[in-house]
């Protein structure tokens, strides 16, 4: 594995001098400098992907938060924070080659600490993503009670969950095919009411096929439940550019999971045919966003889990879950996973109280969240796939975001 110090010197020297808008210029300058440089009369090799680590502020207890910047040789850059294992930003080129951030986030640590209890911008969700009804579940004959941060339910692992934790860097590097970082978190027995000590590794990798992948591996020393997910908000036309309603979405699922008025599954897996949840063929996101269907009107938009077609589980390859196209910029994003479901959310509760790095306010439909996961409330739904993890087993699941463009 390459060390942190083996990054491109030209990019490292330029980066402190440049704003986000200048990063595209910096990339061109670095490439030009490298292509003109000679060693022993021959041109230097083309730049490899890079992985760099910088300090990004301090937690209230004085611990340092770090940012890991992953960059490939196609102009894609992902910035990951050790706070919450968070994706802070992702720059990708549009059809004209213009690089722009397409992931909503905040420009500084203080805003994450202030706002992320409500919106989970870019963070890893755990131990259990989505909702647990009544904040309780049974495991091996014992009832466990969790704090209810969305009363009467527990949402995304509780009020002080994986998104709030400072992860440690277990490894970082790059080679000719990509750049990566592995973050580690140990959740003690009883954390937010969950049993067993859980050790989680989250590995982000950005390769030269323009795949940003996130692999979770988790082990426990006692029976527990685990459902890890990432909660990124995407706008393919650019962070702060306004509504995502013009974007065209396809979800590869024949069924979805209906919920009650508290967003708890009814226990059924309903066909999407004839509903506003049928994205088997591509549809504009805003086309049915204001449907009178109670499954749409109660959450004020899309906020449901789809049952992704195809085999899933440890050892299975990722399969296509969703495809999103932005006709304005030409950007395309495909979501692949080996998890059984995917929550799709249209930022229904983002109501103008957050400001992003662009200086623009975030509002409803300004982004789309794709959260591959196990099904909501799985511990209380006997017909759903189990999320129990026992000692000796490894929770091992991957989500991939593949970026491209179309004319």
Radius of gyration of the chain (CA): 21
In tens, the pLDDT along 47-103 reads 789 999 999 999 999 999 999 999 999 999 999 999 999 999 999 999 999 999 999
Q: Which residues are annotated as a binding site?
A: 130-131, 231-233, 303
Position 138 pLDDT exceeds 90: yes
At 45 the pLDDT is 54
DSSP secondary structure of 8-65: -HHHHHHGGG--GGGHHHHHHHHHHHHHH-EETTEEPPPPPPEEEEEEEEE-TTSPEE
DSSP secondary structure of 379-402: GG-TTSPP-EE-TT--EEEEEEEE
In tens, the pLDDT along 181-210 reads 999 999 999 999 999 999 999 999 999 999
In tens, the pLDDT along 139-187 reads 999 999 999 999 999 999 999 999 999 999 999 999 999 999 999 999 9
At 315 the pLDDT is 79
- The pLDDT confidence band at residue 46, using thresholds 50, 70 and 90, is low
Which residue matches tokens 């950005």?
206
- In angstroms, rounded to a whole number, what is the distance separating the alpha carbons of residues 127 and 216? 12
At 13 the pLDDT is 29
What integer is the mean pLDDT of 376-392?
98
Q: Which residues are annotated as a binding site for beta-D-galactose?
A: 130-131, 231-233, 303
- In angstroms, rounded to a whole number, what is the distance separating the alpha carbons of residues 387 and 84? 22
Residues identified as active-site: 231, 371
Indicate the fold that domain 48-405 takes in CATH: Beta-galactosidase; Chain A, domain 5 (2.70.98)
Q: Which two tokens stand for residue 56?
A: 């990004």
Q: Which two tokens stand for residue 30?
A: 């670095």
My answer on whether omega of the bond before 127 falls inside 30° of 0, hence cis, is: yes
Q: How many CA atoms lie within 13 A of 349 on its CB side?
A: 12
**Range(s) for CATH 2.70.98.10 in the chain?**
48-405
At 376 the pLDDT is 98
């Amino acid at each position: 594995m390459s060390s942190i110090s083996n990054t491109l010197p030209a990019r490292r020297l330029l980066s402190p001098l440049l704003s986000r808008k200048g990063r595209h210029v910096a990339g061109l300058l670095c490439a030009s400098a490298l292509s003109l440089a000679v060693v022993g009369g021959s041109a230097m090799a083309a730049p490899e992907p890079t992985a760099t680590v910088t300090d990004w502020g301090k937690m209230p207890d004085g611990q340092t938060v770090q940012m890991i910047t992953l960059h490939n040789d196609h102009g894609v850059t992902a910035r990951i924070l050790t706070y919450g294992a968070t994706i802070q930003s992702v720059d990708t080129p549009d059809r004209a080659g213009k690089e722009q951030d397409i992931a909503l986030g905040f420009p500084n640590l203080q805003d994450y600490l202030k706002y992320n209890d409500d919106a989970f911008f870019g963070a890893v969700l755990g131990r259990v993503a989505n909702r647990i009804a009544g904040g309780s579940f049974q495991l091996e004959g014992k009832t466990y009670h969790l704090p209810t941060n969305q009363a009467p339910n527990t949402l995304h692992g509780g009020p002080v969950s994986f998104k709030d934790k400072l992860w440690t860097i277990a490894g970082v590097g790059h080679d000719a095919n990509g750049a990566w970082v592995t973050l580690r978190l140990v959740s003690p027995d009883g954390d937010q009411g969950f049993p067993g000590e859980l050790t989680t590794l989250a590995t982000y990798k950005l390769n030269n096929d323009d795949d940003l992948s996130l692999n979770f591996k988790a082990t426990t020393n006692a029976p527990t439940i685990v459902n890890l997910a990432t909660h990124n908000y995407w706008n393919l036309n650019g962070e702060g550019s306004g509504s995502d309603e013009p974007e065209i979405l396809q979800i590869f699922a024949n069924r979805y999971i209906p919920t009650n008025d508290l967003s708890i599954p009814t226990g059924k897996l309903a066909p999407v045919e004839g509903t506003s949840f049928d994205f088997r063929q591509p549809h504009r996101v805003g086309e049915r966003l204001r449907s009178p269907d109670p499954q749409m009107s109660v959450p004020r938009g899309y906020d449901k889990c789809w049952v992704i077609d195809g085999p899933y589980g440890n050892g299975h390859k990722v399969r296509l879950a969703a495809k999103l196209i932005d006709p304005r910029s030409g950007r395309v994003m495909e979501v692949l996973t080996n998890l059984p479901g995917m929550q799709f959310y249209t930022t229904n509760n983002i109501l103008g109280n957050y400001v992003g790095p662009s200086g623009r306010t975030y509002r409803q439909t300004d982004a789309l969240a794709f959260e591959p996961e196990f099904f909501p409330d799985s511990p209380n739904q006997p017909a759903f796939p189990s999320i129990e993890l026992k000692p000796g087993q490894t929770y091992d699941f991957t989500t991939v975001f593949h970026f491209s463009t179309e004319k």
